[in-house]
């Protein structure tokens, strides 16, 4: 089970940190990803992090503004979002992938086994 938190309303240029708490013993073995979905749009890859935390991968649209991290002692993955823009408004989802880490494969939502319910981020202009 994955449970996201930390969403809310923020002004453009502001910051938010999303958290995703996972249950289960295999957390440190799973690639964790963040995706988002805006109304009327397809689910979009944001970032992914390897089970050990040693590798990360980002979408071009957020690279340099967003940072993914994880704390395996807390079974939690984070998404620090800085420099938020109105176009970042969406429901943000975390997801877990138990397969072997391949950076390019983390962009495909079909590779993920489990999903959270999402948390809404709204960025006002």
Residue 25 is predicted with a pLDDT of 77
pLDDT at 93: 98
Q: Which two tokens stand for residue 108?
A: 């495909």
Low-confidence ranges of the chain (pLDDT < 70): none
Q: Which residue, 64, 37, 32, 59, is CA-closest to 48?
A: 32
Task: Read off the pLDDT of residues 43-60 as tens digits, 9 standing for 90 and up.
Answer: 999 999 999 999 999 999
């Amino acid at each position: 089970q994955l449970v996201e938190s930390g969403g809310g309303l923020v002004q453009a240029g502001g910051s938010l940190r999303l958290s995703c708490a996972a249950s289960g013993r295999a957390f440190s073995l799973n690639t964790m990803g963040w995706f988002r979905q805006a109304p009327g749009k397809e689910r979009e890859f944001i970032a992914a992090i390897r089970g050990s935390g040693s590798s990360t991968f980002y979408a071009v649209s957020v690279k340099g503004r967003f940072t993914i991290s994880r704390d395996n002692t807390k079974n939690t993955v984070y998404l620090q979002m800085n420099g938020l823009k109105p176009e970042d408004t969406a429901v943000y989802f975390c997801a877990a992938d138990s397969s072997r880490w391949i950076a390019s494969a983390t962009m495909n939502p079909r590779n993920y086994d489990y999903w959270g319910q999402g948390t809404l981020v709204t960025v006002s202009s």
